[in-house]
């Protein structure tokens, strides 16, 4: 596994100094994000190995400004970890964290799906009706995708068939109804409801605001439902609280929801499920190695 840190700096967030620093320190490696149309809105990104003198230079630069309490440094998450694995590493992992990479809108709630909101702080809620979506907006060539609500996961009928034929465990597939015609159930798309329990995160999992302030958590729901954080390490889970399902979600929820957004768990899959997804050639997700300890 090779680990990198992606650092993103934006002038609109008050990080002008960091933009200049990255451009002068890493003239070759710094990439422009988007097109700067208006002066003072430049956004740049650079990727450096996580254990490198280059990372240390950036860390010192940011740390000094955070210590001074500079806005733009103190209020923002700057950077995240990126891990690249060899094929063998992925195929030898007992479990993997699955991230749904493909998003679409509108969310189910905007199409008439009913939720009961259970917490006003983090917007944790329960979906209490079948999912209704504008299915023309689903990424047609992705077998797994999600709406911008974070908790509405959509899979293709091919995904459902493959999951069932391979006797994988930990999911049920619920009907999705068409926004334009809410009595019509889709034959092509299903809602993935993960029933498998991946249990609790082990303490080895490092949480923090970003790679530059590792001990600080950005936000925690005062009632304890969810946390806003970056994962500074791979995910470690308590083996004793995993139910052994091929697909499972963590007890802990992440993200501060508001309006349409709901805090969401992490999705963990078994090696068997990973191989099945690979062999079927399914698209729309990325994986990282996860560990049961
Ligand atoms: Zn809450």
pTM reported for the whole predicted model = 0.92
Separation of CA 185 and ligand 1 centre (Å): 32
- Measured in angstroms, how far is the CA atom of residue 118 from the centroid of ligand 1? 8
> From CA 9, how far away is CA 30, in angstroms rounded?
10
Binned at pLDDT 50, 70 and 90, residue 216 comes out as confident
Q: Which residues contact 275 (CB under 8 A, 6 or more apart)?
A: 91
From the CA of 62, how far away is ligand 1's center (Å)?
31
pLDDT at residue number 273: 98
Cα 219 to ligand 1 centroid, rounded to whole Å: 11
> How many whole angstroms separate alpha carbon 72 and alpha carbon 8?
12
Which of 77, 290, 268, 267 minimizes the C-alpha distance to 204? 290
At 145-201, the pLDDT tens digits run 999 999 999 999 999 999 999 999 999 999 999 999 989 999 999 999 999 999 999
Q: Which residues contact 13 (CB under 8 A, 6 or more apart)?
A: 72, 76
Q: In whole angstroms, how far apart are CA 175 and each of 113, 199, 273?
A: 12, 27, 22
Could you tell me how many residues make up the chain?
Answer: 293
Ligand 1 midpoint to CA 122 (Å): 4
Tell me the average pLDDT of the chain: 95
At 21, list the tokens.
């620093």
Tell me the CA–centroid distance for residue 124 and ligand 1, in Å: 6
The dihedral sign for the CA sequence 54, 213, 64, 16: positive
* Count of beta carbons in the 10 Å neighbourhood of residue 125: 18
Measure 240 CA to ligand 1 centroid, in angstroms.
26
Report the separation in Å between the CA atom of 259 and the middle of ligand 1, taken as the mean of its atom positions.
13
How does pLDDT run across 53-74, given as a tens digit for each residue?
Answer: 999 999 999 999 999 999 899 8
């Amino acid at each position: 596994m090779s680990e990198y840190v992606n650092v993103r700096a934006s002038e609109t967030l008050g990080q002008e100094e960091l933009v200049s620093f990255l451009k002068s320190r890493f003239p070759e490696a710094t990439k422009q994000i988007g097109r700067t149309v208006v002066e003072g809105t430049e956004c740049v990104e650079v990727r450096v190995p996580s254990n490198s003198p280059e990372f240390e230079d950036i860390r010192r630069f940011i740390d000094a400004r955070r210590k001074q309490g500079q806005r733009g440094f103190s209020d923002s998450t700057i950077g995240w970890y990126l891990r690249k694995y060899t094929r063998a590493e992925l195929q030898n992992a007992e479990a993997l964290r699955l991230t749904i990479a493909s998003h679409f809108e509108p969310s189910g709630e905007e199409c008439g799906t009913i939720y009961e909101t259970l917490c006003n702080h983090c917007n944790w809620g329960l979906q209490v009706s079948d999912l209704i979506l504008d299915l023309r907006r689903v990424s047609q060539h992705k077998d797994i995708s999600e709406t911008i609500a974070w908790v509405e996961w959509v899979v293709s009928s091919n995904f459902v068939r493959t999951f069932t034929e391979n006797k994988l465990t930990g999911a049920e597939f619920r009907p999705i109804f068409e926004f334009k015609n809410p009595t019509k159930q889709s034959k092509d798309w299903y809602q993935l409801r993960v029933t498998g329990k991946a249990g609790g995160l082990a303490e080895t999992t490092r949480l923090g605001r970003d790679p530059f302030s590792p001990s600080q958590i950005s936000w925690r729901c005062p009632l304890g439902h969810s946390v806003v954080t970056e994962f500074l390490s791979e995910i470690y889970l308590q083996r004793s609280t995993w139910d052994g399902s091929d697909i499972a979600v963590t007890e802990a929820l992440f993200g501060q929801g508001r309006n349409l957004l709901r805090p969401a768990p992490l999705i963990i899959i078994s090696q068997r499920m990973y191989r099945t997804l690979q062999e079927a050639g399914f698209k729309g997700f990325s994986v990282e190695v996860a560990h049961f300890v």
